[in-house]
Amino acid sequence: MNSYDLTTAIFYGSFFGGIGFSGLAVKDDGTEFYRAKTNGDIEILSLAIPWDLTTATLSSTVTGFSTSISTILFMNNGSILYCIGVNKTVYKYNLSTPWVPNSSDPSSSFV
């Protein structure tokens, strides 16, 4: 049996939270949700019930990324954050604290 059988999925509603969002990521344990904004910020939302977006509350906003972000992706252990800018450049951030984005962490970029 496939553990991701979408034929039994139920639509409960959408969770977008406004305009200007371009990328999404979820912490591997389902307790945090990350929204990349087109202005280069990343919003971190805490989920009171893991994987249930209806329980999300904004916990912080990280500012100062160098470009508008179109996609975000974490390494599976949360130690590296990859951001793809709307300029099609990939930015790699080595996070000093896993799962905590910080625009001042050492980074590199490549196309």
For residue range 59-97, list pLDDT tens digits in order.
999 887 767 888 889 999 999 998 888 788 888 888 889
Closest CA to 38 of 24, 25, 21: 21
Rounded mean pLDDT, 7-22:
62
What's the pLDDT at 1? Answer: 47
Tokens matching residue 111: 């196309």
Closest CA to 111 of 67, 65, 79, 64: 67
Of residues 20 and 39, more confidence is placed in 39
Q: Which of 51-60, 66-75, 101-110 has the highest mean pLDDT?
A: 51-60
pTM for this prediction: 0.75
Longest dimension (CA), the chain: 45
Q: Cα(106)–Cα(47) distance, rounded to whole angstroms? A: 28
pLDDT surpassing 80 at residue 108: no
Q: Cα(38)–Cα(45) distance, rounded to whole angstroms? A: 17
